[in-house]
Chains A and B, each alone.
Chain A
Amino acid sequence: MKYFILLILLVVLTACAPPASPASPVAIPEVTAAEFLETLKTSDLPIVVNVWASWCLPCRAEAPLLREAAIQYAGAVTFLGVDIQDRPEDAAAFIGEFRLDFDHVADPNRAIPAALGGVGVPITYFVAPGGKIISTHVGIIDERTLVSGIDDLVRQP
């Protein structure tokens, strides 16, 4: 009986595969750290910057949270992804798999996180309009930390 239950569980889990998402047809642009910092400074909206890579397991774990947050806070907060040390096709596949429908830039040399501060990946920066970094979260981010960070951003004067 227990093997039957296990078989049913396996069938249910395999049947719950996410729908296939086509990889983004456009390669994400590569920018320099100076260009990226200028983007942050000139933004009218608060920005959540997420540094990720397709080979990073914690990045895969937190990607659904970021997608949900980007949808929920659309129009109030801008989400920007920074893909580091990655192959373009892997990056495109990652974005397509998790449907991360916000802007991303490529940073093969890790210059952007070096400029913003922080070691490792993933890193999430909460940036106020004008480019001031309000807080930085290193490592996988959980829902409450993400939403609290966004709430702090939105409440900035």
Chain B
Amino acid sequence: MEFTLLGAVLLGAGTMWMTDRVLNRRQRRFDDLLGATLMGLLVGRLAAMVSGGSYPWSHPGLILLVRAGVHPGWASIGALGSLAWRFRSTSLPISLGPLAVPALMGLSGWELGCVVRSACGGVTVGSWEVPIGGLAGLAIGLAALIVYRLPLRTKAAAALVAAGLVRAAADPFRSALNHSVIWWYLAAVVIGVALAITWTSSAVRTSPE
């Protein structure tokens, strides 16, 4: 049995933890991020099982075998939903802002974990195999640097837009079976833009004259 997938997970989680330690010195947010990630894994795993024809109630042990597949769209909804519930009594854009860059860096680390898995390659264009995992990881890392410079109130929405754009751009070049999730990523972009507009305009309305 090989543990390269675990290695990629640890790389993603480690990147997220390190970024949180560097940026959020006053209040660590890694627990919130980790909890959201686990909730996302659970929801995404259940969705993958049901869509694949496995019945969670008859074989609940299969839920733990996340290696068999996690639906990224439903996982994202699960993760974001858990964060929204966690911060339901506070201002969402202000609460989610500090999580944005560590979350993007965690996603970047996970993508770059393709090196550990020897699975960075995607489809072949001409004679060149597109190293889609590496490119996506670098692009998300660059997006994290851009999001870091944004106002706190727009960080979370911008992170959602950035992650959705990179994943949508990378999806056609990934080695995958026939179930493109590009529409989920594009939906994330649209939702992120809508949130950015909403949160920014509400800040303008509530700011003192």
Binding site for B on A (CB under 8 A): 13-14, 16-18, 57-58, 60-62, 64-65, 68-69, 71-72, 97-99, 120, 137-148, 151, 155
Contact = CB atoms under 8 A, between A and B. Distances in A.
Nearest to A10: B57
B61 to A, nearest CB: 6
B56 interface: yes
B86 to A, nearest CB: 15
23 contacts: A13-B56, A13-B57, A14-B57, A18-B54, A57-B62, A57-B65, A58-B65, A60-B62, A61-B54, A64-B52, A64-B54, A65-B68, A68-B52, A72-B177, A139-B1, A140-B67, A142-B5, A143-B176, A144-B117, A147-B175, A147-B177, A151-B121, A151-B175
Task: List the 7 closest A-B pairs by CB distance, nearest first.
Answer: A64-B52, A61-B68, A18-B53, A139-B1, A61-B65, A147-B175, A68-B177
A137 B3 CA distance: 11
A138 B61 CA distance: 19
A143 B2 contact: no
A68 B57 CA distance: 22
B177 A65 contact: yes
Contacts, number: 80
Given A13-B50, A18-B53, A60-B54, 12 more contacts: A13-B56, A60-B59, A61-B62, A61-B68, A62-B68, A64-B52, A64-B53, A64-B68, A68-B178, A142-B5, A142-B67, A144-B174
Interface in B1-25: 1-2, 5
A91 B54 CA distance: 17
Q: Is the interface of B mostly helix, strand, loop or mixed?
A: loop
Contacts of B54: 18, 60-61, 64
B119 interface: yes
Contact of B68 (A72, A140, A151): A140
Q: Is the interface of A mostly helix, strand, loop or mixed?
A: helix
A17 B55 CA distance: 6
B50 A148 contact: no
Interface residues of B, number: 29
Contact of B175 (A16, A64, A99, A144): A144
B2 to A, nearest CB: 7
Given A144-B119, A151-B175, A57 B68 contact: no
Interface string B101-137: 0000000000000000111010010000000000000
B65 A140 contact: yes
A66 to B, nearest CB: 10
B121 A148 contact: yes
Nearest to A12: B50
Nearest to A137: B2
B119 A18 contact: no
B159 to A, nearest CB: 24
Nearest to A145: B119
B69 interface: yes
A120 B179 CA distance: 30
Contacts of A142: 5, 67-69
Interface in B148-186: 174-179
Contacts of A147: 175-177
Contacts of B57: 13-14
A145 B3 CA distance: 12
